[in-house]
Structure 1
C-alpha cells in the first residue's frame, strides 16, 4: 500500500501542483492549461513523462471531462441534465467509485476489487487529498480520477459564480 498526497496551492492561477509521497517527496507533477481551449490537466511522473491527461470537452451543452491514462481513454465524467442540484456521472469500464466523491471521500474499485481510497484532509490551507493506493498498477488511474473530480468541482463552482478552486 502506498500513501500519496495532493495539495493544491491556494489561489494558483497557473494550475500547477504536485503529488507527494509520505516523505513529502514530489512523485507526480500536474499542470493545467491556463486560458487555453480546451482546458486540460497533464499529469507527469518524476521524469516528466506524461502518464495521464484530463480534457474538458469544448462547445458542449453540458460539461464533460475525458480522462486518458497511459495513452488510453479510461473514464468520462459528465454532468447530467437536472433542474435542481447538479448531478454528475462517472463512466468507466470496470471502474466504480463508492462513497461521496463530491466531498472527496470514496473508494475506487476495479472489477469489484478495492484498488484505492481517497479522503480530503480537513483544516489545511488549500485542498489536500490523501490517496491510498492498494494496487500499484492502478496508481495513475487513481491520481487522474482525483484531479478530474477536482477539475469538475472547480468548473461547477466557477459556473455557479462561486469562484474557482485552487487548482484552476
Structure 2
C-alpha cells in the first residue's frame, strides 16, 4: 500500500462485492498487497473507502456525459461505453444510470450501451448505431463514445 498505483481498479470491484461483515475478497486483496495484519474494522473502512472512490468516479463520468447531452440538445442519444470499471464494477453502471437523469434536461433520453471490444470494435458499434439512429430520426439522435475514460462525441 506504500507503493504508488499499487491498488488496482479491479480491487474496488472485488472489495465492493463482499457482503457486509464478510470480507472474502478484501482478505484476498490485502494478501496480494502483502498486508498480513489487519482487523475486521480495517476491512470495514477499506470497503467504505472503495465505495466512496467508485461512487465519485461514477458521478464524475456521469457529469461529463450529462454535459455533452445538455450541449448537443438531442432528445434521444445512444452512448457506447468501454472500460473495465464500467463493465466489471457491481454498481458503476447503475450509479451512472441514476445520476445522469438528475443532471440533464428531463426531455432528453439516453441509453448506455456496453462496448466490450476496445476502440476498433467500439468505433464500429458507434458507426452501426449511427446508421440505425439516422434511419429512426436524423435530428433526434446522437452518439457519444466513452473509451478508456475519455469521451468522444
Question: The TM-score by the shorter chain falls in which range?
Answer: under 0.3
Give the TM-score taking structure 1 as reference length. 0.26
Structure (1/2) with the larger helix percentage? 2
Bigger RCO of structures 1 and 2 (CA < 8 A, at least 6 apart)? 2
Structure (1/2) with the larger strand percentage? 1
Give the TM-score taking structure 2 as reference length. 0.27
